[in-house]
Amino acid sequence: MSAVRAVAEVDPTSAGVVRALAEAATGVDGREPLSEQFLINLNGRARPRVRHLLAEADGAVVGYAQRHDTSAELVVAPEHRGNGIGTELLDALLEQAPDIAVWAHGDLPAAAGLAAKRGLARVRTLWQMRRTAEAGDLPALTVPDGVTIRPFVVGQDEDEFLRVNNAAFAWHPEQGGWSLDEVTAREGEDWFDPAGFLLAVDAEGTLLGYHWTKVHPATTAPTTAPTTAPTVGSAGSSAGEPSMGEVYVLGVDPAAHGKGLGKVLTLAGLHHLADRGLDTVLLYVESDNAPAVAVYEKLGFAVHTADVMYRRT
């Protein structure tokens, strides 16, 4: 058995062990157990909305869980599974926050069994959809009169992006309510490329909507959704897959609805990724968002895999 230790901040050595543990789990499961924001939260400093749980046996970290606001994720080292460590971590999370929502990336049977054991039910399913070369050529991009699509400028466009993002996703439990911290954290990531962060502006320069794309290198082809991103979202890793693009975040100012900008921005981003030689693109969408799923299917996307949120009901 292991001992579970709660900490506000993970020391650099333990953080490295957790990352290696997560990579090992990815190799076994084919799904990355920790999403983007949860990995960012491992970086160095204590955060007021984050708590970490380290499961340790014989002085080594063998499992890890993190609580971020009202959701959590956990992972157990493959060689230590079957010893009750996952149950210990889940029990510790539920003791801290009985109503916590726990993400299981990949809809794996072991996660479903653990959830059922503790009376947790599925409350949300996030689909990863992918468009491959077999879908054929993209439709032509036609930008409406009076609208310009340009790349994001670091140090200039953050405030306008936050205004539109938080209006577009006011309903969303993770993407809504972003602050400058969320933007600058991503600007500091290796994958960030302002040329792929496309903004639709009107003649006065007011932001109408945006399509933030992402490119995953061959060694980090995505498997896992960013649970702090919207219904089209982010990433993970699975060595051996080719490079691919992602519809990371796409939003339209509610005041600009009815102009077809969602489709225009989607196509603008897809053409940008295609111009970079990427013939596989992924996105994330809520499984019950039938209108959005229908739009993506018309563009050649198909369901690839799923992430499931569990919670006591």
Q: How far is the C-alpha of 20 from the C-alpha of 225, rounded, in Å? A: 19
Pick the CATH number of 129-306 from 1.10.1740.110, 2.40.50.1070, 3.40.50.300, 3.40.630.30: 3.40.630.30
Angle between helices 109-117 and 85-96 (to 10 degrees): 50
Tens-digit pLDDT profile for residues 71-100: 999 999 999 999 999 999 999 999 999 999
Nearest to 261 by CA among 171, 178, 148, 175: 148
Which of 6-20, 163-177, 267-281 is the least confident region?
Answer: 163-177
CB 273 within 8 A of CB 282: no
Q: Positive or negative, the Cα torsion across 253, 255, 257, 260?
A: negative
Q: How far is the C-alpha of 241 from the C-alpha of 129, rounded, in Å? A: 16
pLDDT of residue 238: 34
CATH homologous superfamily of 3-118: Gcn5-related N-acetyltransferase (GNAT) (3.40.630.30)
Q: Which residue has the higher pLDDT, 80 or 30?
A: 80
Q: How far is the C-alpha of 160 from the C-alpha of 206, rounded, in Å? A: 8
Say if residue 271's pLDDT is above 60. Answer: yes
Given this chain, do its domains 3-118 and 129-306 carry the same CATH topology?
yes
pLDDT of residue 218: 66
pTM of the model: 0.77
Strand partners, 310: 102, 122
Nearest to 250 by CA among 209, 292, 280: 209
Domain positions in the chain: 3-118, 129-306
| Average pLDDT taken over every residue of the chain | 89
Say if residue 232's pLDDT is above 90. Answer: no
Say if residue 219's pLDDT is above 60. Answer: no
* Number of C-beta neighbours around residue 95 at 10 A: 11
3-state secondary structure of 123: strand
Tens-digit pLDDT profile for residues 146-160: 999 999 999 999 999
